[in-house]
Amino acid sequence: MILYDKVSKFYNGDRAALAEITLQIEPGEFVSIVGHSGAGKTTLLKMLFAEIVPTEGAVYFGTRDIGGLSSRELLELRRSIGTIFQDFRLLLTKTVYENIAFAMEVAGKDDEDIQADVPHVLDLVGLSDKMWSFPHQLSGGEQQRVAIARALVNQPDVLIADEPTGNLDPINTHDVVEILKKINDLGTTVLLTTHNKTVVDSIGRRVVTLEQGRVVRDDKHGKYIL
Amino acid sequence: MSFWLTTKRVARYGLIGFIRNGFVSLAAVMIMTITLFVVALLLIAGSALQSTLALLTDKVDVNVYFQTEASEEQIQNVQRSLEALPEVAAVTYTSREQALEEFRERHKNEQLMTQALDQLGENPLGASLAVQAKDTSHYETIAKFIETQQALPDGSAISKVNFYQNKTAIDRLTNIINASRTAGFATAIFLFCASLLITFNTIRLAIYTARDEIGVMNLVGAGRWYVRGPFMIAGVLYGIVASLIVLFVLYPVAAWIGPASERFFGSFNVFNYYTSQFPLIFFVIVGLGVGLGALSSFLAVRRYLRM
């Protein structure tokens, strides 16, 4: 369970990026977060892996307050959350295989597991033949699928996807969304932010709408409405 | 996670990073080569200066001349009391016979002088003591001490002390030696710090280009050493490669300027120094390269660690 408890965030100045957000997300949910640019979507997601710290309020992951974690616990938290971004964020000097192996290595997996799991997860996203390519040798859609494979390989409890389809064409977008749905069907909580109306409407699950740092709509089976 | 597994992975990524970021590595190695070369030159120049100054210092002494009728015992007593002084490094005794021999040797081509000596029949020269101080600034004290000795029975046999004739020269030499030491030291410190800063900033730039990479590592939950380790290994590799280049290039350079350096400095031969002090030079250059690479990377990565 994820709980945002009266969370506010102020950057320099008075305007709140987030204003007293209270939001509860149950395990296994698929939540799409929509809103204009600057509505606070990314800020909300980044608080989950403590890249941004709330000015007021607290974020709970399970029963633990993220703000109170030691740096060791924080590393464990980050390893139990998979992340996907619009700009892919791959390690550019490492091959596809190494990018995914790296996430497993830092989680302390041994070499046999890594050698078995990496090809498997690449097979899942349909990139078995690109295992030894570098990110710059791949298309945008392929890079995003590598990022997804990396996010999945440690079997995270939660998958965070911050505008994952922002740089992709409709076909790749469709593929990525299908993969996300499949992951969710297997029990992983998915948090998705997007500007893409088609994506949100095709998912047909819970939609949280943000406006100027506040939750203005929260529908169990929502549509993209701004 | 086992320590060895982590170390192995970190070392592998360090090596991979060093090779794949070839251009950045090349730049860092080149800068570091220059830095280590400067350090090696400082090391050699420092030793050349030391040995030259020591050579000059050795040439200075104060001579105590005795009257011809001075007894062996009197001279020995003065020698003993001089040797007891903490400022005195060595006292060399020259007997009357030796003095005569040296005199004849020096003037063997001057017939008049030899004839005059032969006519005289007896040895007109007195015995002498050559006193060397540990430091040129000590001669004044030693000269004063000899003066007080002259009042004593043993010292009454002293006919002449040549310190005051040589005082100006000795003082000037002392000043030059001290100034050279200070200037040499200041120059060394300055050059050393400058090259250190340049290397540090080059490595910082190299890591700046990898800041996004570090951000991604933070994101997937890589621990401090997982992020920092490979960069430090790469830094160590810059140091090793650069120091080997320096040691390798220095050998023919030293061989080439060795004879010229010996003529210039009097006794100091760069090539002999390089070969005889190789272990020292090796440890200083390689140690500094490795330490500098590792420390610079460590400090540079710290900025981008978010946890």
pLDDT tens-digit map of B15-47: 998 999 889 899 999 999 998 998 888 888 888
Least confident of A105-119, A130-144, B111-125: B111-125
In the block, tokens 């006193």 appear at: B131
Interface of A with B in 160-219 (CB under 8 A): none
Chain B closest CA to A109's CA: distance in Å?
Answer: 8
**Nearest chain B residue to A49, by CA:** B219
Average pLDDT over residues A35-56: 89
Considering the domain architecture, whether residues B271 and B208 belong to the same structural domain is answered as yes
Kindly report, residue by residue over A132-158, the tens digit of the pLDDT.
Answer: 999 999 998 899 999 999 999 988 999
User: What are the angstrom distances between the C-alpha of B35 and each of B41, B147, B152, B195, B200?
Assistant: 10, 54, 61, 5, 10
Considering the domain architecture, whether residues B208 and B276 belong to the same structural domain is answered as yes
Considering the domain architecture, whether residues B45 and B160 belong to the same structural domain is answered as no
Look at residues B126, B146, B164 and tell me which one is the last residue of a structural domain.
B164
Q: Do A107 and B221 touch (CB under 8 A)?
A: yes
What is the sign of the dihedral through the CA atoms of A162, A164, A165 and A168?
A: positive
Measure the CA–CA gap between B246 and B251, rounded to whole angstroms.
Answer: 9
User: What are the angstrom distances between the C-alpha of A109 and each of A41, A105, B23, B259?
Assistant: 32, 5, 32, 61
User: What are the angstrom distances between the C-alpha of B81 and each of B122, B137, B142, B148?
Assistant: 30, 20, 11, 12
Q: In the prediction, which pLDDT does B1 show?
A: 59
More confident residue, B116 or B300: B300
Does residue B148 have a pLDDT over 80? no
B188 — pLDDT class (breaks 50, 70, 90): confident
Average pLDDT over residues A95-105: 93
More confident residue, B77 or A168: A168
Chain A closest CA to B10's CA: distance in Å?
Answer: 10
For chain A, give every residue range classified as CATH 3.40.50.300. 1-80+159-226
- Superfamily holding A1-80+159-226: P-loop containing nucleotide triphosphate hydrolases (3.40.50.300)
Considering the domain architecture, whether residues B11 and B103 belong to the same structural domain is answered as no
Q: In the prediction, which pLDDT does B154 show?
A: 67
Q: In the prediction, which pLDDT does B86 show?
A: 80
Look at residues B164, B187, B216 and tell me which one is the last residue of a structural domain.
B164
Identify from A52, A102, A110, A160 which residue to disrupt to test chain B contact, counting B C-beta atoms within 10 A and taking the largest count: A102
Considering the domain architecture, whether residues B98 and B143 belong to the same structural domain is answered as yes
Half-sphere exposure of A33 (CA within 13 A, CB side): 27
Does residue B307 have a pLDDT over 70? no
Q: What one-character-per-residue DSSP string does chain A give?
A: -EEEEEEEEE-SSSSEEEEEEEEEE-TT-EEEEE-STTSSHHHHHHGGGTSS--SEEEEEETTEEGGG--HHHHHHHHHTEEEEETT----TTS-HHHHHHHHHHHTT--HHHHHHHHHHHHHHTT-GGGTT--GGGS-HHHHHHHHHHHHHHT--SEEEEESTTTTS-HHHHHHHHHHHHHHHHTT-EEEEE-S-HHHHHHH-SEEEEEETTEEEEEETT-----
Considering the domain architecture, whether residues B128 and B183 belong to the same structural domain is answered as no
Q: In the prediction, which pLDDT does A149 show?
A: 93
Considering the domain architecture, whether residues B159 and B279 belong to the same structural domain is answered as no
Considering the domain architecture, whether residues B225 and B76 belong to the same structural domain is answered as no
Q: In the prediction, which pLDDT does A90 show?
A: 92
Interface of A with B in 36-55 (CB under 8 A): 49, 51
Tokens of B291: 């330490």
Q: In the prediction, which pLDDT does B162 show?
A: 74
- Is residue B169 in a domain? no
**What's the domain count of chain B?**
2
User: What are the angstrom distances between the C-alpha of B273 and each of A103, B245, B261, B265?
Assistant: 52, 19, 11, 13
Identify from B4, B13, B24, B220 which residue to disrupt to test chain A contact, counting A C-beta atoms within 10 A and taking the largest count: B220
User: What are the angstrom distances between the C-alpha of A56 and each of A74, A209, A210, B218?
Assistant: 19, 21, 18, 24
Q: In the prediction, which pLDDT does B110 show?
A: 78
Considering the domain architecture, whether residues B28 and B82 belong to the same structural domain is answered as no
- Is residue B227 in a domain? yes
Least confident of A213-217, B10-14, B156-160: B156-160
Does residue B155 have a pLDDT over 70? no
Average pLDDT over residues B75-80: 77
Considering the domain architecture, whether residues B101 and B208 belong to the same structural domain is answered as no
Q: Which residues contact A78 (CB under 8 A, 6 or more apart)?
A: A49, A50, B218, B219, B220, B221
* Mean of per-residue pLDDT scores for chain B: 83
Q: In the prediction, which pLDDT does B254 show?
A: 86
Kindly report, residue by residue over A2-34, the tens digit of the pLDDT.
Answer: 999 999 988 877 778 888 899 999 999 999 999
CB-based contact (8 Å) between A9 and chain B? no
Q: In the prediction, which pLDDT does A29 show?
A: 93
Measure the CA–CA gap between A164 and A146, rounded to whole angstroms.
Answer: 12
Measure the CA–CA gap between A138 and A145, rounded to whole angstroms.
Answer: 10
Look at residues B164, B188, B217 and tell me which one is the last residue of a structural domain.
B164
Considering the domain architecture, whether residues B68 and B143 belong to the same structural domain is answered as yes
Q: Which residues contact B241 (CB under 8 A, 6 or more apart)?
A: B29
Query: B265 and B48 in contact (C-beta within 8 Å)?
Result: yes
Which domain range does residue B33 map to?
A: 3-56+174-302
Does residue B124 have a pLDDT over 80? no
Measure the CA–CA gap between A117 and A101, rounded to whole angstroms.
Answer: 9
- Is residue B307 in a domain? no
Please classify residue A50 by burial: count the beta carbons closer than 10 Å to its beta carbon, then call 0-12 exposed, 13-18 middle and 19+ buried: buried
Instruction: Please name which of A133, A81, A104 lies closest in space to residue A145, comparing C-alpha atoms.
Output: A133
% of chain A with per-residue pLDDT over 90: 47
- What number of residues does chain B have? 307
Chain B closest CA to A105's CA: distance in Å?
Answer: 8
Q: In the prediction, which pLDDT does B286 show?
A: 93
Q: In the prediction, which pLDDT does B11 show?
A: 93
Of A93, A102, A108, the CB nearest to B220: A102
Average pLDDT over residues A162-177: 88
Considering the domain architecture, whether residues B192 and B180 belong to the same structural domain is answered as yes
Q: In the prediction, which pLDDT does A58 show?
A: 92
Least confident of A54-63, B171-180, B252-261, B273-282: B171-180
Measure the CA–CA gap between B80 and B129, rounded to whole angstroms.
Answer: 11
Average pLDDT over residues A167-186: 89
- Which pTM does this prediction carry? 0.77
Kindly report, residue by residue over B222-264, the tens digit of the pLDDT.
Answer: 888 888 999 999 999 999 999 999 999 988 988 888 888 888 8
Measure the CA–CA gap between B92 and B128, rounded to whole angstroms.
Answer: 8
Q: Do A83 and B213 touch (CB under 8 A)?
A: no
